[in-house]
Amino acid sequence: MASYHLAPLEALMDAMESLPGIGPKSAQRMAYHILRMPEEKVRAFVKAITDAHEKIHYCPVCCNLTDGELCAICRDEKRDGSILCVVEDPRDIFALERVKDFTGRYHVLHGAISPMDGIGPEQLKIQELLKRITPEVKEVIMATNATLEGETTAMYIARLLKPLGVRVTRLGHGVPVGGELEYADNVTLQMSLESRKEL
């Protein structure tokens, strides 16, 4: 019986499936789409991936992504250097910047403590954060995700920072605007109660 296995197509589908959130069906659909693309678009697609991989690196100050010497936020002299907001991922900065209320600076950990995944404090950018704690820094906002890993990471870093005399705060978590209590899970309700504010 004839084999319909095409090694280059299999390799392309495997490459697509290695991306987060892409299953076998999506990988197959994307691979076939790429095969139908005109040659110049394929070359532009490959160049975009190669350029991003070669030109983007970590900012030496905050560990955000940049293609320059420093990231745009670290270059911005109008930002308030007395407040650092610690996030897990560069994407979290984009989310917070959309609000346009935060004028401080950031620090990106590039993950969260997760023993199950073999990620300990030494795999994160925690030492880089500690080096940034100068007398100018008055507050560090822990904006890690509201997950077990995010909470563990926030508590671990808070224990390291408190002896340095810096104020450590945590983003409030709870019921989203427009959300109804009956649909909220127990963890969300618990965090809502713990994050309550005086009116």
The CATH number that applies at residue 13 is 1.10.8.420
* Count of the separate structural domains present in the chain: 2
Q: What percent of the chain has pLDDT over 90?
A: 75
Task: Report pLDDT for 25.
Answer: 96
Inside any domain, residue 139? yes
pLDDT score of 4 more than 70: no
Q: Which domain holds residue 23?
A: 7-55
Give residue for tokens 């909470």. Answer: 151
Task: Report pLDDT for 8.
Answer: 93
Q: What is the pTM of this model?
A: 0.82
Inside any domain, residue 61? no
Task: Report pLDDT for 188.
Answer: 74
d(CA 101, CA 99): 6
Same domain, 39 and 81: no
Of residues 175 and 61, more confidence is placed in 61
Return the number of other C-beta atoms located less than 10 Å from residue 93's C-beta: 21
Q: What is the pLDDT of residues 56-82, one digit of tens each?
A: 999 999 999 999 999 999 999 999 999
Q: What is the pLDDT of residues 104-126, one digit of tens each?
A: 999 999 999 999 999 999 999 99
Same domain, 92 and 158: yes
The neighbouring-strand residues paired with 65 are 58
Same domain, 51 and 101: no
Same domain, 169 and 110: yes
